[in-house]
Structure 1
Amino acid sequence: MSSSLVRGVAVFDGTRLQQRQDVLVDDGVIAAIGPDLAVPPGATLVDGAGKTLLPGLIDAHTHTMSIAQLHQALVFGVTTELDMGGVPEHSRALRGAAQKRADLADIRIATTGATAPGGHPSQLVELGMMPPFPTVAGPEDADRFVADRVADGADHLKIFIEDGTAAGHPMPLLAPETIKALVAAAHERGLKAVAHTMTRSATRLAVDAGVDGLAHAPADGPSDQALVEAVADAGLFVVPTLATLAGMSPTPIELRLAVDPRLRPYADPQWLADLDKLPADPAQRMGPMAMDVRHAADVAIRLFRAGVPLVAGTDGTGGAGHPTTHGISLHGELTLMVEAGLTPTEALTTATAAAADAFGLTDRGRIAPGLRADLLLVNGDPTADITALYDITTIWRHGVPLDRTAPFIENKD
């Protein structure tokens, strides 16, 4: 495996910026950090003047369907995706491919999410968009369900707390005692329990059940201070998914991203074509929605100020009819967080150190000796201007630099 030394670069280590450092990458890990490091024989020397080196970005809420999407994520500096629900065999195959190929983002998987019979996302089965999946009728089913997910290879448990009212399609909801039983079963097996919660009432159910994190910020109306304090007191992390909620508005963030000259040349041509055909009326894209990104942004900032870790995630799927996709949308998520009130440094932490801490990924999310060399080099200073993150010069995944312009080969031996 090749080695590289980045000379005289500003280093965002996951929480703070350090000026004029040298960073040595060797055998897939960060070997040393400091001023005036010696260049090892055979190492590639990279000029870091005027640039910032960051940990590879982590998208903590995706639904990943293909290795092409994992490649597209990596092209935009997302070196790890945390999938929040998919078909077990398919999810395992994606994780296996990512373990073998340096041109794909790494991935952790939830496999099948827990929901009530007929509950979300069962409507996708009826539409032929996914195969039938097991459900949880009551607390007596919880232990068996979680054990099966462990057998499937799940890295974390996803729990759907969704009654469908915010989307105008009421559907069955897991009972509070069932949610608690699922969380307990997950914790007994060492899994984090992450809850899909789009509404304030679902957020309260998740808090009361003892989940570890929320996969969305509530967006069905203004959250009161009691709910903010309840989430903070429970020690949860929150993935606001502002990008996907903005996608339910007339002005998705992706419309801005798609025309930025620093991003557009690397975007998936099919996604750009789908974006051009996106209906202006959100109701024509996904039906009537009683959710507003402004409510989610407001409560996310209030939660953060109350001490709740925010973790960046997009809910990216990449399907036609919804603008949110892999890689590029995480840049939109961070931009929206800054526009909501975070500093650029705080926003960058949500996609690096905070995400790694939330999901127990102890080998990444920071720049420190001994950690994985999942790294991102950009022109300028994204701690001063978050959009500087758009101007990527080099991406390393486990120490291997990525050629962003090379044609993607889906099937490699």
Structure 2
Amino acid sequence: MTTAHATSPTLIRQAAVFDGSRLLSAQDVLIDGPVIAAVGTRLEAPDGATVLDGAGRTLLPGLIDAHTHTTDTAQLRQALLFGITTELDMGGSAETARRMRAAADERDDLADVRVATTGATAPGGHPCQLVELGMIEPFPTVGGPDEADAFVAARVAEGADHLKIFIEDGTAIGKPLPLMSPQTVTALIRAAHERGLRTVAHTLTRSAARQAIDCGIDGLAHAPADGPSDQALIEAAVAAGVFIVPTLTALTGMTAVPAEYELCDDPRLRPYADPQWLADLDEIRTTDPARRIGPIGVEPQYAADAALRMFRLGVPLLAGTDGTGGHGHPTTHGISYHGELALLVAAGLTPAQALTAATSAPADAFGLSDRGRIGPGLRADLLLVAGDPTRDITALRAITALWRTGTLVERTAPLAEQTKDRTQE
């Protein structure tokens, strides 16, 4: 269904405000229509305004998942229920991408989405193996630098907001895969930049990350995870001004103990989880990890170490999940994002730094100047949580109110009664 913007203003009084980079105490925030009208102290409530008491709570910008793969509106709904008001899709069917983009433009009960459409890869390169398995439809590839301009032009015609480039030699899946040449990658980046598109590279290995950086990529969609990164790679990322999306929860999903096992048991999260995902997760728990995972040549700790070292030298770090769901992988839309933030804090970020990675950093990296912060004139994509997530990142899980373009989101909890029944047994 299409939801209408709120017809009357909303004033949130005396909330702590994390504005995308810092925490401000005891602020009033006025929502009027789809935007934030004012931020300050002792704001006057307009006639007819709804007034909410924010004391003891923290108001934050809507969260941004900087790496997803979105295939249906139910995923966008799930993302929104967990406070994610924008997803940055990193490649898939162009037809599906257009449909998701159109649905998000029309509906305030879904997370907004920006799309990559078809990613660039070599003939037979990743993810062409998924075509062979019947998991995705065939898609165009790039045979050399002379094909780059036409490929990017076609993506723009499909409605792409950014360009995804695959640099994957098969290390992560134990199967050698063909790669595009550095000349082809450079030509793709140049063609994208000429059309105003940012470029993001799939890079699970150190060699792939270095190639992407040397070719002029804007960002790394994964942190290198095939071994310890040397200082030369870290400094190259810093010098090039790239951003990085570690996707630690996706990497732990390739291990015997995915981060989602802890998430699904958290009473602040479980009631809002997709029942089918919970059932799938129960099945994953009982599956032999060796059979479920297969040969994997990457480790989460290497990615965490590389991303943290880059971040400490000035590389913008963005929170993203690689959320897909299905096919024996536990990472999904919405709930997994809270696992990503916990993993970033465990890796060495402060909770406040993780919140920046979830809000203003991805907005800046992808040129979304209307969101990711709290300030007058910006989109009223907001979440109000109990407690202080700048001290305890898991406080972000206790959402008490949520707005998407000024519309209060109804957070349905399909498992709430089941959870209540279990606690009373």
Same fold, judged at TM 0.5 (above): yes
Q: Could you tell me how far 1:286 is from its partner in structure 2?
A: 3.3
Measured in 1, the distance between the counterparts of 2:309 and 2:275 equals 38
Residue among 152, 162, 170 paired with 1:164: 170
Q: What is the match of residue 417 of structure 2?
A: none
Q: What is the match of residue 346 of structure 1?
A: 353
Measured in 2, the distance between the counterparts of 1:210 and 1:350 equals 22
Q: Could you tell me how far 1:285 is from its partner in structure 2?
A: 2.0
Does structure 1 conserve the Cα–Cα contact (< 8 Å) formed by 2:145 and 2:184? yes
- 1:104 alignment partner, SS class: coil
In the TM superposition, 1:390-409 aligns within 5 A as 390-405=397-412
Q: What is the match of residue 122 of structure 1?
A: 128
Measured in 1, the distance between the counterparts of 2:412 and 2:337 equals 20
Deviations 1:59-107 (CA, angstroms, capped at 9, x unpaired): 0100001000000000000000000001111110111001111100000
Deviations 1:375-407 (CA, angstroms, capped at 9, x unpaired): 010000000000000100111000001110177
In the TM superposition, 1:173-188 aligns within 5 A as 173-188=179-194
- Residue type of the alignment partner of 1:220: D
Measured in 2, the distance between the counterparts of 1:239 and 1:282 equals 25
Measured in 1, the distance between the counterparts of 2:220 and 2:289 equals 24
Q: Could you tell me how far 1:11 is from its partner in structure 2?
A: 0.1
Percent of paired sites with the same residue: 69
Measured in 2, the distance between the counterparts of 1:267 and 1:47 equals 27
Residue among 32, 41, 55 paired with 1:26: 32
Residue among 120, 143, 150 paired with 2:149: 143
Q: Could you tell me how far 1:282 is from its partner in structure 2?
A: 3.5
In the TM superposition, 1:185-334 aligns within 5 A as 185-278=191-284, 279=286, 281-334=288-341
Q: Could you tell me how far 1:44 is from its partner in structure 2?
A: 1.0
- Given the alignment of the two structures, is residue 72 of structure 1 paired with residue 78 of structure 2, yes or no? yes
Does structure 2 conserve the Cα–Cα contact (< 8 Å) formed by 1:250 and 1:280? no
TM-score, with normalisation over the residues of structure 2?
Answer: 0.95
Measured in 1, the distance between the counterparts of 2:289 and 2:361 equals 32
Q: CA 1:259 to 1:406, structure 2 compared with 1: closer, same or farther past 3 Å?
A: closer
Q: Could you tell me how far 1:42 is from its partner in structure 2?
A: 1.5
Q: CA 1:122 to 1:331, structure 2 compared with 1: closer, same or farther past 3 Å?
A: same
- 2:297 alignment partner, SS class: coil
- Residue type of the alignment partner of 1:363: D
Deviations 1:158-214 (CA, angstroms, capped at 9, x unpaired): 000001023201111111100000000000000001000000000010011000000
- Given the alignment of the two structures, is residue 51 of structure 1 paired with residue 57 of structure 2, yes or no? yes
Measured in 2, the distance between the counterparts of 1:169 and 1:83 equals 25
In the TM superposition, 1:364-383 aligns within 5 A as 364-383=371-390
Instruction: Show structure 2 runs of 5+ residues with no match.
Output: 1-5, 415-425
Deviations 1:137-168 (CA, angstroms, capped at 9, x unpaired): 00000000000000000000000000102320
Does structure 2 conserve the Cα–Cα contact (< 8 Å) formed by 1:194 and 1:214? yes
Corresponding pairs, count:
407
Residue among 20, 35, 42 paired with 1:36: 42
Does structure 2 conserve the Cα–Cα contact (< 8 Å) formed by 1:258 and 1:272? yes
Q: What is the match of residue 109 of structure 2?
A: 103
- Residue type of the alignment partner of 1:17: L
Q: What is the match of residue 337 of structure 1?
A: 344
Q: Could you tell me how far 1:320 is from its partner in structure 2?
A: 4.1
**Worse overlay, 274-283 or 314-323:** 274-283
Q: What is the match of residue 152 of structure 1?
A: 158
- Given the alignment of the two structures, is residue 359 of structure 1 paired with residue 366 of structure 2, yes or no? yes
Does structure 1 conserve the Cα–Cα contact (< 8 Å) formed by 2:125 and 2:179? yes
Measured in 2, the distance between the counterparts of 1:15 and 1:220 equals 32
**Worse overlay, 46-55 or 284-293:** 284-293
TM-score, with normalisation over the residues of structure 1?
Answer: 0.97
Deviations 1:257-277 (CA, angstroms, capped at 9, x unpaired): 000000000000000000011
Q: What is the match of residue 421 of structure 2?
A: none
Q: Could you tell me how far 1:215 is from its partner in structure 2?
A: 0.1
Instruction: Show structure 1 runs of 5+ residues with no match.
Output: 408-413
Does structure 1 conserve the Cα–Cα contact (< 8 Å) formed by 2:148 and 2:188? yes
Measured in 2, the distance between the counterparts of 1:248 and 1:87 equals 24
Does structure 2 conserve the Cα–Cα contact (< 8 Å) formed by 1:9 and 1:48? yes
Does structure 2 conserve the Cα–Cα contact (< 8 Å) formed by 1:142 and 1:182? yes
Aligned-pair RMSD on alpha carbons? 0.9
| Runs ≥4 residues deviating over 4 A | none
Does structure 2 conserve the Cα–Cα contact (< 8 Å) formed by 1:56 and 1:352? yes
- Residue type of the alignment partner of 2:394: T
Measured in 2, the distance between the counterparts of 1:181 and 1:335 equals 37
Measured in 1, the distance between the counterparts of 2:117 and 2:302 equals 30
